[in-house]
Structure 1
Amino acid sequence: MNPCIFHADVNSAFLSWSAVERLQKDPGALDLRKVPSAVGGDISRRHGIITAKSIPAKKYGIRTGEPVVKALQKCPDLILIPSSFQTYRKFSSAFIRILKQHCSIVEQASIDEAYLDMTGELRRDMERAVRPDSFRNPAQNGFPQETALSEEEKMWRACAWQEALSIKNEIRDTLGFTINVGIAKNRLLAKTASDFSKPDKIHTLYPEEIPAKLWTLPIGELHGCGHATAEKLEQIGIHTVGDAAHADRKLLQSLLGEKGGIYIWNSANGISSSSVHASHDEAKSISNELTTRFDITADNFEENAPPLVHRLSASVARRLQKAELYGTTVGISVKTNDFRRYSRQLKLPESTDRESDIETISLRLLRQLVFGTDGLFASGKGVRLIGVAVSGLDHGDFRQMNLFDYMENHQEEIKKAERRKKLDDMLREIRGKYGESSIHKGTDSR
């Protein structure tokens, strides 16, 4: 299957984030997104430039980057608000955090947009052979059906649509602002798709859709084609992206230079890189997750969930120990068969890197999540993915500070912990020599 790239873009980011923060502080406040409003300039003196605008403001012809004075001439009732980079950083971090919960390869392109390589996630969806809602009920979920595609390609695209819908709705429902998601086989087409009609929309731009969706755009809307380049192209009769796609490459190179001409021709024909490079910041958590081959339900939980949690906990513990890190918070997360995510976590009195600690807590949290009051199983949901995470990482400093008090008051627990550690060390050594499958949990056959 082709690569699947998402481009997630916050709708009117600075304006939206300011509006959400105001509503959080005062639920009765005016929602700036629903009226002509903008961020930018010195509000008291009414000068500077517009850095963000609401969709109603766009209807007055107000553009990002234009002087505030000019914007006020177009819309005298325009509400102006000041910038708040502290607010922007807070919401941007929350936005990226949710994206990373859904995808292992996320590249933040700016404070309000990111690329996601969803290929691996979709491949796991396909391996499970579970038809998502977007495949079963295309009209209800907004999924465009293309009858000429193979069943496998239809399923691939339906899974992509469902994943995008899950991401978009989670951000809207939990953070309070909306995003657009573009779906395509490469970065350029994904970004172009996310710029189609807004807000709170999902758009695709697959190869067969290029003539209708890309080639009809004015040449100035082609990503990477600036105002000056667009003017040069229009002067020789290239007014749309389709005109550039069908133009002679040598003509474009003679006008724009060798690299510039090739870039415009390739972009107009939907040719671009699909590489997404995940940023590697200092780890704030260590986690691992696995998609199940079939839904875990109340009927098969005891048989299938504990071994999976054991495997995930062992993987997280090994990574912690290799990095010489400890964690103070253990968390469990699941994705249900309706593509929604749920999680639970527990803060520990002392940080740990032990497999047995992580496994015990994770399994307890998982049981609470699925069997507890208002648990997932009670609502008829099945679990299709389980993840284990350890966060609140440190290098053992906190453990050293509390060691003597802990030893004095918990002698029996210490002896048990020492025995568990010896067992963990022995298991780790055996697995290191003979492989992961050399030891597994069994049942007493007596």
Structure 2
Amino acid sequence: MTQLPGLLDTEAIRKDFPLLDRVVHDGKKIVYLDSAATSQKPRQVLDALNAYYERHNANVHRGVYTVAEEATALYEGARDKVAAFINAPSRDEVIFTKNASESLNLVANMLGWADEPYRVDHETEIAITEMEHHSNIVPWQLLSQRTGAKLKWFGLTDDGRLDLSNIDEVITEKTKIVSFTLVSNLLGTVNPVETIIRRAQEVGALVCIDASQAAPHMVLDVQALQADFVAFTGHKMCGPTGIGVLWGRQELLEDLPPFLGGGEMIETVSMHSSTYAPAPHKFEAGTPPIAQAVGLGAAVDYLSAIGMENIARHEHAITEYAVRRLQEVPDLRIIGPTTAEDRGAAISFVLGDIHPHDVGQVLDEQGIAVRVGHHCARPVCLRYGIPATTRASFYLYSTPAEVDALVEGLEHVRNFFG
């Protein structure tokens, strides 16, 4: 068994994740290497979901009976846990959404409807990057089309890093918002946050960070980041699907208009006009994802007990080992950084002229689950002249043995296609 420095006790951790014991395809135990798409869920989260539905299921904030008050306490308790997890100055800065995509759309629409000085219009610019997930491209395209704002972006270097050589031309005095990913879901690149935020602050632009591939894997401190908005999703960090988070600075949330209207987000309503509740409820119209928030709170408890620093150390060791082993495979080209420096635990690659979908199918026959396609980052594939990639992604339960299984599986793919 390969021993690497910094590894967690994966033998103990894997016992918490029921799916990792599943047997597929001729008795092969699953090798799950798609955590960048969604993580597996520990029993502690599954138990919290079951307990909520079995004993505490009610709508929140309205009922005065016991079960409703319990549900409200669990839901708002999850907000407290998330706030502590990301070191938010106030729990009221934590908004629950259904996923990171909704969080990013919420920011884009708030700015499109806002008054000065935040309003995005035909005289302003928006800056993003070429490595973004579609969720951090399309909302800004829609906002640009609706308002006439100019959309600009940073390109990519040949080794999968952001090209910041023209940072003063991309982020200008006209820029109102700079939105970028902290960690690329396709390339694995960890971006130079400080450099980008420093330039944005020089011109007075707001900063929105997509932390979907960061929150599950490293310490996420919103105060240290010095961004204005941070978005992430629960299902990639051991939580259930259907729950996302938008953190925003308190003064911005107070000034910006709501995006969705309905129950719970109001203060008063008449047939002529309405006034709105304070944040975060101002941005949480209707019945929220209550059980999902409870599950996310349980996931935060689980990750915090292990320690995000320990998880990051484990993943760095696994990623470093995986990058080295994959480079031993003939005809394999990693798309993105080829070292573990400033990169996350997602590694995309192409294998000769074999289509990634064929690679994924043959690996699946061996019980190895990887992702294939453009990973909702098609501009990256266009930049590197490829139709798609195969992506292996790792998490706190991943082991060196699974990396070895992937490498052996790729040799089988090469032999299969001759």
TM range, normalised to the smaller chain? Answer: under 0.3
Higher gyration radius (CA): 1
Higher relative contact order (CA closer than 8 Å, sequence separation 6+): 2
TM-score with structure 2 length normalisation? 0.24
TM (norm. structure 1) is 0.23
More helix by share: 1
